[in-house]
Amino acid sequence: MAVTTQFLVTGMLISGVCNTILNKLQDMQCVSHCDDPDPSKHEFYEQPVWQTLNMFVGETMCFVVAYVLLYWERYQEKRNEVTVYEPLGAEATLTNDSETVTIVEGGSDGSPIKIDDEYRGPTEEMTGWRVLWFWLPTICDIMGTTFMNVGLIYTSASVYQMLRGAVVLFTGTFSVLFLRRRLYPYHWFSLFLVVLGVSIVGMSSIFFPPVKPVAPVDTIPNLATSVEATDDSIEAMVGVFFVIFAQIFTASQFVIEEKIMEKYRVKPVLAVGLEGIFGLSTVTVGMFVLYFLIGKTHPGGYFDISVGFNQMISYRQIWISGISICFSIAFFNFFGLSVTRLISATARSTIDTSRIVFIWIVSLFLGWEIFSWLQVFGFIVLIAGTFIFNDVIRPPPCFAVPLKETSENQPLLPEDHEHL
């Protein structure tokens, strides 16, 4: 069990770090005027819509995994389809009254087998047209991921990952408004810490803007030696805005998913796969529609799919990283769901938070970022708020912590899948 847990946690961290680093690597690939000695004339790969499509391809792989697991379970059930006879005890009572709780004595271990007529949790199977409900969170996923991809273009990988912590604020607020959850004073205190931490991290990005490549990037190892600092605080502000704004859609996605899964029985990996298929089809159709509406009149922009496609297939680093992103998304979802099942959702949230540190270390090692104590302080405040909110650490003594309740103290961040 310990070895399995270590393997899953390690796989989750590695695939999670690769998601963000590979997307940022794509953004730093020069695609035009790369030989010009003036770095300001270099044009880089800026295709957030194509990156969103990459993510949904990875999520669609989870749909394949879900059906493989489904057929495997059915195969195991058929193999183990053996009638088991256990003699009834002398005091056993059989009844046809549907409202009566039936107790059968004489189990193999000598203990009674209790069949309770009250099933806690969703009882309705998600079949037929009901699966279309997942199109609603998929739309939110598309919007949130695309805005985050735009924000990643203008900010550093670690700041981008830290700013995503703002989703706790919006998820907590939406859960009160739409899920009728109750937040205690220490929850609101933790949300204040999250806002404060996000603000400090955002300011650090503006005061210490990210670096950009200034020469053609032919190989990944050369990337660390081909950067220079940029003094464009406006771009950093734009990046911060887009990443934080995207969290509104991400929080909406979480709340809608929770609402759906409260009513219908559906396996998380199947839910991710369904959103992957819906997202893949929606983004594909949307790309063509937006191309004819906007892309044709604004050549080279985000919605010019012909330019994006040519850049994708013409540059080895871009298409290799694109394929790698698809697989890292699929693996991250698999490892994450396995960790949730084996340990807990709170443990997964805590482990995922440490991913930010590794992303930061990799970015510093590659020379993509400048070390900032202001960013460190903001990160600590942000993590403290997130951990208090999810009951990982205790709040200050001045805040009373209520007794655990099954419905109100579950983590409000159902991170069943990840984008970057």
DSSP per-residue codes, 56-120: HHHHHHHHHHHHHHHHHHHHHHHHT------PPPTT------TTSPEEE---TTSSPEEE-S---
Return the axis-axis angle of helices 268-290 and 135-154, rounded to nearest 10°: 70
- What pLDDT, on the 0 to 100 scale, is given for residue 24? 92
Identify the helix (H) or strand (E) that includes residue 265: strand 264-265
pTM of the complete model: 0.77
- What pLDDT, on the 0 to 100 scale, is given for residue 211? 62
Identify the helix (H) or strand (E) that includes residue 41: none
Of all residues in the chain, what percent are helix, strand and coil, respectively (each to 5)?
65, 5, 30
Residue 292 lies in a domain: yes
Residue 416 lies in a domain: no
What span, in angstroms and rounded, lies between the C-alpha atoms of 286 and 327? 23
Largest CA distance in the chain: 92
Q: How many C-beta neighbours within 10 Å does residue 403 have?
A: 5
Please give the average pLDDT of every successive group of 10 residues along the chain, which has 420 residues: 79 91 91 82 88 91 79 78 49 42 42 41 74 92 94 90 87 85 87 91 81 49 43 80 93 87 81 89 93 85 87 90 92 80 66 82 88 90 86 79 53 49
The string of DSSP letters for 105-172 reads: ---TTSSPEEE-S---S--EE--GGGGGGGHHHHHHHHHHHHHHHHHHHHS-HHHHHHHGGGHHHHHH
Using alpha carbons, select from 5, 21, 19 the residue that is nearest to residue 360. Answer: 21
What span, in angstroms and rounded, lies between the C-alpha atoms of 235 and 241? 10
Residue 395 lies in a domain: no
- What pLDDT, on the 0 to 100 scale, is given for residue 267? 79
Taking phi over 0 as left and psi of -120 to 50 as alpha, with beta for the rest, 224 belongs to alpha
Domain that holds residue 291: 2-73+131-389
Q: Write out the two tokens for 367.
A: 């020379």
* Strand partners of residue 44: 30
- What pLDDT, on the 0 to 100 scale, is given for residue 19? 92
- What pLDDT, on the 0 to 100 scale, is given for residue 346? 60
Residue 86 lies in a domain: no
Let me know: does 256 contact 135? Beta carbons within 8 Å. no
- What pLDDT, on the 0 to 100 scale, is given for residue 265? 83
- Contacts (Cβ under 8 Å, ≥6 apart) of 296: 304
- How many domains, in total, are found in the chain? 1
Residue 405 lies in a domain: no
Residue 170 lies in a domain: yes
Residue 215 lies in a domain: yes
- What pLDDT, on the 0 to 100 scale, is given for residue 278? 93
Residue 45 lies in a domain: yes
Return the axis-axis angle of helices 316-342 and 268-290, rounded to nearest 10°: 150
Distance of CA 415 to the CA centre of its chain: 6
